[in-house]
Chain A
């Protein structure tokens, strides 16, 4: 029986849309995954050198132990966003003569087979053998590594429970973000160092195997917490219910001022907050807002005069990530209701305008939210202003223009991260010109007349793009209208 279930699970993974739609993308994603894991492994290999030489800590082991807590906090966050819930396949098993416990055990077990679960092993495995083993011996190194991995696996079960328990409710997201902010903030302000507080747990693992038993208990407990919750709620309506209108019914009233296009922007906004995939993109905006923290106060990017050119890249992402990501799938978002827009008078034109409005609005919001970065110097504000103007004046047109090359349909309710539905090779290749464009304008001017002239050139290019916005948006709408038959038939057939 279990064998059959495993066979079904393998078939499901092999035939999943994100995998099978295009072999090329499947291979691409596979290699990306291998690369990422490979990088993590490399990172693990040089971790002890990094700590000692770059950060200048004498005792790498103590330092890593005090950092582990942050690693696990980070793990909580990324698991919360990436980890898929196993309940999707529940409906196809529930009516069969199998005991519910067995189904749940199986679903939970199959969720465990995931690259996320070897990350801690890849990062800390090499460290344990390169750094701990020579100092403390083989046995403590093994114990230490086991303790780390067990913690990571406990988080796996905890997140499965947590995500299902607070699925998609604001409570969950807010809880995750406050955890992150409080711990980082408290540490930064030097109120208390939580890392140092937890350090003894893993130091203890170097001396005695007791923590292993403790952590094993935690692992088992977290598994059963998860199991009990899923077992109790193993009904279709409870585990995979459709969301209700609790938090997603807000209108962006000011948009109505823009007529039909504003109405379309409003509808698009609802589309964004009511679908998992688009919501994730919106969340990414928030995460990318923090992206600057990594770069702006990093000594590696400090220059004596002007600013580091990487900052252009950072600014582009901070002010434009939503448009880059969401815009890539420009029409695919509307694939389930494309006929609706075609059938309205001037519908497609208004749809394009509406999307422009929304992209500009969100970009502006990101820009405003990023103003506090001025703390790191006026340069940063100027860079953000220039990249913001460039984004809405040039990059936005570019994204949309490229996205119209063979749009593909997609199911908006499928999982979010690492879901490549709707992505074709064109969507992957798109990123190259998008990232190159700001530099293509910035670099020549920066070399000839200095950094600020480069920024000025970007701003001027952007402002010019904003001035001719009407013409470009009209020509893009025209292009869609010309191809509407092809687009709508491809959206209809493939779904």
Chain B
């Protein structure tokens, strides 16, 4: 689904990202962990063609993301508030997206229905602009927007951050269900190791832009990650 070849991002003298090769197959739940400054967000931004790669390329279904635009209908993403139109109310935002993705009203209401537990009645029908919502609720809007339009892959940066515990659990269920029902590929970066280990089939550990570990077996993830992050 997503292939990375000889990807490098260099700011001045420092290499902030250096990934020789990475391939993410369809319907994999891919976790990205690493301490601050490891390059997680930069990697996501390059994958979405928001930041230019210094060298190398990212391909979505064999299409170079920096050359074409066809992939944009297949990949949904929520990285930060820059990706929302915060001067709209959540409904208006979803409606705007619906028109952009050319979905019917029914598609949208079906989609939002899936999120009704996750939204916990605080998002829709609440006459507030997105910018006036709490951080957790903004995140919920962004996540629901990223999954709109039946994307084949969804990129989420720190999706669990700012969410209350019940919402975190609901989000995990949502992700697993989408994956099972529609073979959606998920790319998730997070600092919450427990959540990532629980839902991800594969975890890549970044350190200063390099892939230090690529864990594909569930049973040794916990031990490996604990060994790395336990600084004592």
A interface vs B, CB < 8 Å? Answer: 242-245, 249, 256, 260, 263, 266-267, 270-271, 274-275, 336-340, 342-347, 412-413, 485, 488-489, 491-492
Contact = CB atoms under 8 A, between A and B. Distances in A.
Given A242-B132, A344-B72, A345-B73, A263 B85 contact: no
A270 B52 contact: no
Interface in B96-144: 96, 99-100, 127-129, 131-132
B85 A340 contact: yes
Given A343-B48, A345-B69, A346-B69, A263 B83 contact: no
A337 B128 CA distance: 18
A343 B96 contact: no
A488 B84 contact: no
A18 to B, nearest CB: 21
Given A270-B88, A270-B92, A275-B87, A340 B132 contact: no
B6 interface: no
19 contacts: A242-B129, A243-B129, A244-B127, A245-B89, A245-B127, A245-B129, A249-B89, A260-B99, A263-B99, A263-B100, A267-B85, A267-B96, A270-B87, A336-B86, A339-B50, A339-B82, A339-B83, A340-B83, A343-B48
B131 A242 contact: yes
B58 interface: no
A486 to B, nearest CB: 8
Given A270-B92, A343-B72, A244 B128 contact: yes
A266 B100 CA distance: 12
A336 B82 contact: yes
Contacts of A344: 72, 100
Given A270-B92, A339-B82, 15 more contacts: A245-B129, A263-B99, A267-B96, A275-B87, A337-B82, A337-B85, A342-B48, A342-B49, A343-B48, A343-B72, A343-B77, A343-B83, A345-B72, A412-B87, A485-B50
A360 B73 CA distance: 30
Contact of B88 (A267, A342, A343): A267
B187 interface: no
Kindly state the interface size class of chain B when it binds its partner: 20 to 34
Contacts of A242: 128-129, 131-132
B81 interface: yes
A489 B92 CA distance: 27
B154 to A, nearest CB: 12
Nearest to A337: B85
Contacts, number: 75
Given A336-B82, A337-B83, A338-B82, A263 B50 contact: no
A339 B146 CA distance: 13
A275 B87 CA distance: 8
A350 B64 CA distance: 22
A485 B85 contact: no
B10 interface: no
Nearest to A262: B99
Contacts of B87: 270-271, 274-275, 412
B169 interface: no
B82 A340 contact: yes
B127 A340 contact: no
A357 to B, nearest CB: 15
Nearest to A266: B96
B212 interface: no
Given A242-B131, A242-B132, A336 B99 contact: no
Contacts of B128: 242, 244-245
A382 B70 CA distance: 48
Contacts of B83: 337, 339-340, 343
Nearest to B79: A339
B38 to A, nearest CB: 18
B1 interface: no
Interface string B46-76: 0011111000000000000000011011000
A356 to B, nearest CB: 18
A452 B129 CA distance: 50
Contacts of A345: 69-70, 72-73
Contacts of A485: 50-52
Contacts of A245: 89, 127-129
B221 to A, nearest CB: 31
Nearest to A345: B72
Contacts of A336: 81-82, 86
Contacts of A492: 82
Contacts of A412: 87
B98 to A, nearest CB: 10
A488 B52 CA distance: 10
Contacts of B49: 342
Nearest to A488: B50
Nearest to A260: B100
Contacts of B50: 339, 342-343, 485, 488
B32 to A, nearest CB: 19
B70 to A, nearest CB: 8
Interface in B26-57: 48-52
Contacts of B84: 337, 340
A260 B96 CA distance: 10
Contacts of A488: 50-51
Top 3 nearest A-B pairs (CB, nearest first) are A242-B132, A345-B72, A485-B52
Contacts of A256: 99
Interface string B192-210: 0000000000000000000
Contacts of A266: 96
A281 to B, nearest CB: 15
A245 B131 CA distance: 12
Contacts of B69: 345-346
Contacts of B129: 242-243, 245, 274
B213 to A, nearest CB: 29
Contacts of A337: 82-86
A244 B89 CA distance: 10
